[in-house]
Amino acid sequence: MAANGTSCEQPQKRTAAKDKQNGRPTDASVRERRQKDKEERLSLVLWRRPVITLHYFLSETFIKLKEWTFKLWQRRVIVFLLLVLCSIFSFAYYSEGTHQKYVQYLEKKFLWCAYWVGLGILSSVGLGTGLHTFLLYLGPHIASVTLAAYECGSTDFPEPPYPDQIVCPQDEMEGNISLFTIMSKVRLEAFMWGAGTAIGELPPYFMARAARQSGADPDDEDYEEFEEMLEQAEGAQDFVTRAKLGVQHMVQKVGFFGILACASIPNPLFDLAGITCGHFLVPFWTFFGATLIGKAIIKMHIQKLFVIITFSKHIVEQMVSLIGSVPKVGPALQKPFSQYLEAQRNKLHHAGGSAPADENWLSWVFEKVVLVMVCYFVISIVNSMAQSYAKRLQQQRHSEEKTK
């Protein structure tokens, strides 16, 4: 047995020694080099190396613009048809006639849907850290509609100013509000936001699919971690790795319904589902169809229901009452919440600019939190693109070293 073990080890040692003599890097040296390169890239952030980070960000932006321009040129027939279509719409938009009311209606709906689709894409597309647009935009919108519906006794808010501003209708009614009434009022924007999040999950799928079909080394660290995870699957011990493997096995074995299950719940590991589907060449419509149904229909109804129940009239009143019952600091905390709710009720009953203009500190704090999160999102995009350019330089340097 010892002799057999020694004879098995000797060829590996001879191969490693031969690689070293020929100047070829061993697996250990490759892993060490990758880890060193990764640490070097992660140190490239605005608050540590601002000048180099901005320079690399602008260089990567220029390269991306060239790549997108080249792709558009390759699809110039489709681009030409889209330009012709836009010209027709522009002519219809600026020409006078009875069709203008339909054009204005379509314009309003298109911009409203595009706004929520865009926010959904920003939430999941993977730029920087991702912008939590449900917490910042869709959730507060649903909460505002819920509070207004219970206060006005109706969801037939006058348009305009809705959706820019919510004002109670003139003929206010009482006692006709249900969960389903509010859910139907915000169904379009919620579906569009969910569809945007589904679209934002496509880049990992296409990246992994292209890498598997071409056999090329992908320029994506998540995909590299995925391949390493597959290689070390049997020895996985920590919870995060086991959770990732669970998602991968579910998607691989169950298929459409596995993707649907992963997309229908809040799942921070769903990027792995897209990479898995791309790696194992799952058909596009199987992946996107399950993702769209899960995120835009099932998951969004769960999230809508949660927000509507949380901000229903009696729950809000109970929460404000509970805040007031906190020893010592309760009354001090309860007062701004009560003032804020009262100010919102007053706005609902004042059309135009006649509403009271007093601003509560809660709304001021929320505005500043939104501003900080948006700024952090922009900074994370700059850092991410600068690190992508640094990776290009590292790959170029390694390829030049191999040719020497």
**For residue range 48-88, what is the model confidence (pLDDT) as tens digits?**
888 999 999 999 899 989 988 998 899 889 999 999 998 98
Q: Is the pLDDT of residue 367 over 90?
A: no
Q: Is the pLDDT of residue 162 over 90?
A: no
Count CB-CB contacts under 10 A for residue 28.
9
The pLDDT score that the predictor gives to residue 2 is: 44
Segment 311-355, tens digit of pLDDT: 887 777 777 777 777 777 777 777 777 777 777 666 666 554 444
- In this prediction, residues 275-287 reach a mean pLDDT of 83
The pLDDT score that the predictor gives to residue 191 is: 94
- In this prediction, residues 274-292 reach a mean pLDDT of 85
How far is it, in rounded angstroms, from Cα 139 to Cα 142? 5
The pLDDT score that the predictor gives to residue 24 is: 54
The pLDDT score that the predictor gives to residue 293 is: 93
The pLDDT score that the predictor gives to residue 192 is: 93
- In this prediction, residues 370-398 reach a mean pLDDT of 84
Count CB-CB contacts under 10 A for residue 127.
17
The pTM (predicted TM-score) of the whole model is 0.72
Q: How confident is the model at residue 292 (pLDDT cuts 50, 70, 90)?
A: very high
Q: Which is more confident, 253 or 44?
A: 44
Is residue 383 within 8 A of residue 45, CB to CB? The reply is: yes
The pLDDT score that the predictor gives to residue 391 is: 85
- Return the HEC string of 181-226: HHHHHCHHHHHHHHHHHHHHCHHHHHHHHHHHHHCCCCCCHHHHHH
The pLDDT score that the predictor gives to residue 80 is: 93
Q: Where are the alpha helices (DSSP H) in 75-172?
A: 76-94, 100-124, 133, 139-152
The pLDDT score that the predictor gives to residue 190 is: 92
Average pLDDT, the chain: 77
Cis amide bond preceding 331, omega within 30: no
The pLDDT score that the predictor gives to residue 115 is: 92
Q: Is the pLDDT of residue 134 over 80?
A: yes
The pLDDT score that the predictor gives to residue 135 is: 82
